[in-house]
Amino acid sequence: MADGKTHFAAYRKGYWTIPLITFLVWISTAFYYWDPTERILRILEFASVSYFFGRYICPDLDQAGTSSADGRMAKEIPGLGYILYMYWTLYALTMSAFAKALGLSKGYLGAHRTILTHSYPGTMIRVYWFFQPFLPFLQYILAVISVKTIYEIVIGFTIAMIYSDSIHYRLDK
């Protein structure tokens, strides 16, 4: 199993992939414009930006102790990084409780590498966990951003996290 440094080095190699795909789609619209392509392009643009969140949001956040991603949050995001660290520690404890309740883990703090966190359903759980703090403010967000744009942001973020997590899962096998 790869350690946090190995995961992060492989993750950094993926920085160019989604922006390159976005650029190619953008170039293709210069030759042939098709209305759905514009929506796909916006989703890919959000995915390109969202991929950088993979620096902090990774499957190893399921560890109740400090992971490499937790350390990066605390070091690289002054002030807010500590709050995010606490928020994602709550995620780790919640996943540990679910893993224990479902019989996926023998220990009380043992969600690491269970199907709840190191799988594509685990990616979806982390995407939900990321957006959860925004849900109480949804009516105010909708006053500024259209529902269509919110869908594009969430889909783009999900694509980025799936790609980032795929790199992680490949290294863990």
43-47: average pLDDT: 89
Classify each residue of 10-39 as buried b or exposed e, where b means 16 or more C-beta atoms within 10 Å of its C-beta: ebeeeeeebeeebeebeeeeeeeeeeeeee
> What pLDDT does residue 19 have?
83
What tens digit of pLDDT does each residue of 53-64 get?
Answer: 988 998 888 887
The more confidently predicted of residues 77 and 19 is 77
> What pLDDT does residue 108 have?
65
Q: Rounded to whole angstroms, how far apart are CA atoms 143 and 83?
A: 27
Domain definitions of the chain by residue range? 4-172
What tens digit of pLDDT does each residue of 133-150 get?
Answer: 999 999 999 999 999 999
Average pLDDT, the chain: 86
The more confidently predicted of residues 39 and 132 is 132
